[in-house]
């Protein structure tokens, strides 16, 4: 598809020659381009459709990369990438080896700071601005673009507080679309709603100042006198201007889809001293009816049909939906069951729970630390909180898990979604560290169900558990159809602490769990074709280890292979190694897992191949291990290989 203006834009400099009318046409062409591209690749659609005019205005006024643009979270950076010479790569968006869905410094010098998690942009921007000030020869603008959803994260307020106190020249763009992923919640969201409704205050303020500026000699003295009543007037009209109280000059609210207004206010901000906050009102999904009506679904969407807005892939019962449905069942039978989400009700399967038990679910916004400690408070008072958070986001609350939950041995249930390799969101979202940062904490119990049936059983079993519990599972679902039959107990005999044998074998034992059982089963089938008989064990309880099974195993099987979708150092394999060393076992151990590096974006299947955890690679590595291949061997008392 050809675009009359977009095709001529190779860098932000090309925008400078365009008229306002041209920029309006360009904004529509960009919307069409993004919609067409993301419908094929999948990606973050609604947030990017909402910042088209804002991004055009930023690059029209400022001079990237000399001026520094930092995008909070970063999933709204597609327009920025298009305007900085990367539109020709958009057919590779979020694909293996292709264009990242987030800012990446190695991708372009226009990407100043890498983001992916929320609420970091103001801190990073303040650091960059202070570095500029310490190096007197540097002179450039620093601009942080942050959504109102990200302001629900406490780190953003820490940065605002510091920046306002510092008086450093810094521009913060508050992109206010009333959404993070789920609808925004909390006092700040309410405050911004009042500001959005208070155009009278801003009109009066600007008009009065313009009038006084035109009065010779007496204008400025009057302005200083009026400053004495300014606070009371602001409080009367807009219920307090929190940002000005924090030390920022506040401009707004501004229509985020009117390019002329955006260019004007951005130009004003460049002339101001000290920190400035520009409040911009946008609509998530702007220009595409389906995304406007359902911005939560189109936040991060798989490939879809543009005419219908429907996803192309089939709907299959997932771990997330299974968790949500099971929690509703538990809550019906136990009034102490409550749920907590950090701005991801739909993604973690909790929408049904919200509909049925609206007073027993707490969406705290993008505030994982608060979510965990609040859960501890609920548990102290006898409730049974379930905290549903992605693996990559739960790591933001590590200290709260350790100090506020585990130290007091409180019965908080952490439901860890998107554990393991998640695919196309890349390094910032791979959930491959949760076993490491949880397993070394005293009192923590960790389960990893092999399928949705086992997830339900584990939830039944742990509803009255007296300490912290973590249940981790992957995005989507697991496919164990290669097993003709395997033991599954849905009755009172089920005990998730006990591992189970899925496939019998004599030459080696594969110890795995969750998603990786798919790989273990496929690898065992490949090895059987070569005459190797593998026992496949579902090690569904990662902590504590099933020591009885391990003791029995050590008496009849000398070759152990651990397989995990988690980084090796400090993971499940490390726990098995420690057990073998501590008990002076004469066994040979091969640890297979994520190597010591960050895993990039790509389809999950591609990433398994990249880290040599696909079935073919695993089978070959096991075969080499059994043939006593000496390459990369680390020998100790337990004769362990990695």
**Active site members:** 284, 368, 396
Question: Could you count the other beta carbons within 10 Å of the beta carbon of residue 330?
Answer: 17
Cα separation, 126 vs 128, in Å, equals: 5
Q: Are 53 and 27 in contact (CB under 8 A)?
A: yes
Cα separation, 25 vs 473, in Å, equals: 46
Strand partners for 311: 304
Q: Are 482 and 451 in contact (CB under 8 A)?
A: no
Cα separation, 210 vs 158, in Å, equals: 34
Cα separation, 623 vs 629, in Å, equals: 9
User: How does strand 500-503 pair with strand 534-538?
Assistant: antiparallel
Question: Could you count the other beta carbons within 10 Å of the beta carbon of residue 284?
Answer: 25
Dihedral Cα 285, 291, 294, 300, nearest 10 deg: -80
413 three-state secondary structure: strand
Closest CA to 175 of 128, 205, 143: 143
Angle at 229 between CA 242 and CA 197, to 5 degrees: 45
Strand partners for 120: none
Cα separation, 26 vs 45, in Å, equals: 18
Cα separation, 530 vs 619, in Å, equals: 10
29 three-state secondary structure: helix
Q: Count CA atoms closer than 13 A to 142's CA, side-chain side.
A: 24
Q: Count CA atoms closer than 13 A to 73's CA, side-chain side.
A: 23
Cα separation, 222 vs 351, in Å, equals: 55
């Amino acid at each position: 598809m050809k675009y009359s203006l977009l095709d001529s834009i190779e860098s932000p400099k090309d925008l400078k020659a365009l008229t306002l009318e041209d920029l309006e046409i360009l904004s529509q062409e960009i919307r069409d381009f993004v919609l067409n591209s993301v419908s094929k690749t999948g990606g973050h659609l609604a947030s990017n459709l909402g910042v088209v005019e804002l991004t055009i205005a930023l690059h029209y006024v400022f001079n990237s990369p000399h001026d520094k643009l930092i995008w909070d979270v970063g999933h709204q950076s597609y327009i920025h990438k298009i305007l900085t010479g990367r539109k020709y790569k958009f057919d590779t968006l979020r694909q293996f080896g292709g264009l990242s869905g987030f800012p990446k410094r190695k991708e372009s010098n226009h990407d100043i700071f890498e983001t992916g998690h929320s609420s970091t942009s103001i801190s990073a921007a303040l650091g960059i601005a202070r570095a500029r000030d310490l190096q007197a020869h540097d002179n450039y603008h620093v601009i942080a673009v942050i959504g109102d959803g990200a302001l629900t994260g406490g780190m953003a307020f820490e940065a605002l507080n510091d920046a306002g106190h510092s008086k450093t020249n810094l521009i913060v763009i508050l992109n206010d679309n009333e959404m993070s992923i789920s609808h925004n919640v909390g006092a700040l969201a309410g405050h911004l709603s009042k500001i959005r409704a208070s155009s009278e205050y801003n009109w009066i303020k600007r008009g009065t100042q313009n009038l006084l500026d035109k009065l010779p000699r007496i204008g400025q003295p009057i302005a200083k006198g009026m400053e004495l009543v300014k606070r009371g007037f602001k409080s009367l009209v807009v219920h307090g201007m929190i940002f000005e109280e924090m030390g920022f000059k506040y401009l707004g609210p501004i229509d985020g889809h009117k390019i002329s207004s955006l260019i004007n206010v951005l130009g004003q901000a460049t002339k101001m001293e000290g920190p400035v906050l520009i409040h911009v009102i946008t609509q998530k999904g702007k220009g595409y009816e389906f995304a406007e009506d359902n911005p939560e679904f189109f936040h991060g969407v798989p490939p879809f049909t543009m005419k219908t807005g429907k996803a192309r892939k089939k709907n299959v019962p997932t771990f997330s939906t299974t968790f949500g449905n099971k929690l509703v069942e538990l809550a019906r039978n136990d009034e102490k069951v409550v749920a907590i989400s950090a701005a991801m009700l739909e993604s973690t399967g909790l929408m049904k729970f919200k509909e049925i038990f609206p007073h027993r679910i707490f969406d705290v916004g993008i505030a994982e630390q608060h979510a965990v400690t609040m859960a501890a408070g609920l548990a102290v008072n006898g409730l049974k909180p379930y905290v549903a958070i992605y693996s990559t986001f739960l790591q933001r609350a590590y200290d709260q898990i350790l100090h506020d939950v585990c130290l007091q041995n409180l019965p908080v249930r952490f439901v860890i979604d998107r554990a393991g390799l998640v695919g196309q969101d890349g390094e910032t979202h791979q959930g491959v560290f949760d076993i490491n940062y949880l397993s070394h904490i005293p009192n923590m119990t960790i389960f990893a169900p092999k399928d949705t049936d086992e997830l339900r059983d584990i939830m039944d079993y742990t509803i009255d558990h007296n300490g912290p519990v973590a249940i981790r599972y992957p995005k989507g679902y697991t496919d164990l159809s290669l097993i003709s039959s395997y033991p599954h107990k849905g009755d009172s005999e089920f005990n998730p602490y006990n591992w189970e044998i899925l496939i019998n074998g004599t030459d080696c034992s594969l110890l795995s769990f969750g998603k990786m059982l798919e790989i273990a089963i496929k690898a065992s089938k490949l090895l059987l074709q070569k005459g190797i008989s593998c026992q496949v064990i579902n090690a569904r309880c990662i902590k504590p280890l099933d020591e009885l099974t391990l003791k029995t195993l050590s008496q009849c099987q000398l070759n152990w292979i651990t397989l995990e979708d988690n980084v090796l150092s400090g993971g499940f394999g490390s726990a098995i190694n420690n057990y073998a060393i501590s008990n002076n076992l004469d066994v040979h151990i091969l640890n297979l897992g994520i190597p010591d590096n960050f895993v990039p974006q790509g389809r999950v299947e591609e990433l398994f191949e990249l880290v040599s955890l696909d079935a073919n690679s695993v089978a070959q590595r096991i075969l080499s291990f059994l043939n006593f291949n000496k390459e990369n061997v680390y020998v100790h008392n337990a004769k362990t290989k990695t």
